[in-house]
Amino acid sequence: MSAETDLSPILPSGLVPSLAEQTAARLRESILSGEIGPGERLSEARLAATLAVSRNTLREVFRLLTREGLLHHEPNRGVFVATPSMASILDIFRVRRMIEVPALAQAWPRHEGIARMRTAVERAEALAGVADWRAVGTENIAFHNAIVALTDSPRLIAFHRQIAVELRLTFGLLDSPEMLHAPYIALNREIVDRAGAGDTAGAAVLLGHYLDQSERTIMAAFARLA
């Protein structure tokens, strides 16, 4: 996974990540890849043995991922993989609109984030050519991370990364990633072209449309599950 698409929190500069953080990263990927399904209960003893860490360390990991929204902790009953709901999807898109659209609208057209957006689009175009839709989804997330990076706000960036992780959890539930991601590559291309040309306001409008459409698509796919 490339640096631009890494969804794990920023680590203390240049130092070896602790075992707890490494383990958190592993467990996060296990969850996001669908290896562990939403609602599933994570037994401390069993998972500690599987991951080859102590129960104490695993409990620290649980605390981290619970704060991230990936796990859900019920006292004296255990931790469970969070189960996305329609309410959470609606909330996530509401937050995304509130953050991404102004971020793009007020962007400086030569900010490095624009380059990151362009890279993500180009990669997505290439990956769509070979029908690797899961990777297309990853690049799509990178595209939107780059939009928020335009703000240079550490807090907004961290918050948005967390939201993106939650959304990826939802994607794991849905099938047909082609339908979920393919239609938006061209739109992303137009957004970044406009932003790069200085028309950030126009790009922001398009981004709003993107979010509306994407929300509808995901909600529809999600509703088909229930």
Residue among 3, 15, 223, 226 that touches DNA (CB under 7 A): 15
Q: Check: CB of residue 121 under 8 Å from CB of residue 192.
A: yes
Distance CA 92, CA 87 (A): 9
Kindly identify the residues of this chain, within the stretch 114-143, that bind its own copies according to CB under 8 A. Answer: none
Per-residue x/- track, 36-75, its own copies (CB under 8 A):
--------------------x--xx--xx--xx----xxx
CA neighbours within 13 Å on the CB side: how many for 140? 27
Per-residue x/- track, 11-30, its own copies (CB under 8 A):
-x--xxxx-x----------
Q: Is 50 in the site for DNA (CB under 7 A)?
A: no
Taking the least distance from each CB to DNA, the nearer of 73 and 110 is 73
Q: Cα angle vertex 67, ends 4, 211, to 5°? A: 50
Q: Which residues contact 206 (CB under 8 A, 6 or more apart)?
A: 187, 190, 191, 194
Shortest Å distance, C-beta 123 to its own copies: 28
Amino acid identity, position 211? L
| CA dihedral sign, ordered 139, 145, 149, 154 | negative
Q: Which stretch binds its own copies (CB under 8 A): 9-17, 38-46, 130-138, 191-199?
A: 9-17
Q: Is 78 in the site for DNA (CB under 7 A)?
A: yes
Q: Check: CB of residue 116 under 8 Å from CB of residue 4.
A: yes
Distance CA 102, CA 120 (A): 20
Residue among 7, 24, 28, 57 that touches DNA (CB under 7 A): 57
Q: Which stretch binds DNA (CB under 7 A): 25-33, 70-78, 169-177, 211-219?
A: 70-78
Site residues (vs its own copies, CB under 8 A): 12, 15-18, 20, 56, 59-60, 63-64, 67-68, 73-76, 91-92, 94-95, 98-99, 102, 151, 153-156, 159, 163
